[in-house]
Amino acid sequence: MKFRILTILFLAAVSCKSPEARYPVTQKSGSYIDESVQRNKELLTQEETYIEQIIEKDSTRDYIASNNGFWYFYNEKNSDSTNTERPEFGDIVVFDYNISTLDGQPIYAEGEKPTREYAVDQEKLFSGLREGLKLMKEGETVTFLFPSYKAFGYYGDKAKIGTNVPITAKVTLHSIKTKTNNESNN
């Protein structure tokens, strides 16, 4: 009887032991990540230099450098001083856009992409366009120059845009339905 009690106590004590971490047999130094970071920095520098050369050659437009890592200019600017509304989180925007290479070769021609309705920051959209829409007012047309990391990055769009391709996107913002208007309609 004592043996059974001792066995049960022993098993209970052993089974309460927490699991121990297992360490890898081999450890890697992280050199692959360091090399990848270096490659990405060099790629970004090349793309930014190329975009800056395009801007220098084009004296007909006033380019603006955004705080988000891309450049843009207005094709049509909304000059109505009473309309200062820009899209914010949750607003619904309706827009059209086309995409071309930095050299102007069409990737998605005008009208090839359907008019899009987009809930700001609540749906998938490549980061540059998501940030660019927030800079626009209703009725404006803006051309954005995006380095590849602000466009479709390493993966491309799995259709017409390949790996690490910087792009130009011409965007027309048709309407903004503010979040407060959306809530009152429901």
Please give the pLDDT value at position 81.
74
Please give the pLDDT value at position 12.
67
Q: In angstroms, what CA-CA distances link 167 with 23, 60, 87, 186?
A: 44, 20, 23, 38
The ranges assigned to domains in the chain are 62-185
Burial level of 168, CB count in 10 A (0-12/13-18/19+)?
Answer: buried
For the domain bounded by 62-185, which CATH number is listed? 3.10.50.40
How far apart are alpha carbons 81 and 91 in whole angstroms? 21
Provide the mean pLDDT of the chain: 88
**For residue 83, is pLDDT > 70?**
yes
Q: Identify the CA nearest to 68 among candidates 17, 20, 133.
A: 133
Residues 51 and 145 sit within 8 Å (Cβ to Cβ): yes
Read off the pTM. Answer: 0.79
How far apart are alpha carbons 169 and 176 in whole angstroms? 19
Q: Give residue-wise pLDDT tens across range 120-163.
A: 999 999 999 999 999 999 999 999 999 999 999 989 998 899 99
**For residue 1, is pLDDT > 70?**
no
How far apart are alpha carbons 175 and 138 in whole angstroms? 5
Q: Give residue-wise pLDDT tens across range 8-47.
A: 766 666 666 666 777 767 666 667 888 888 999 999 999 9
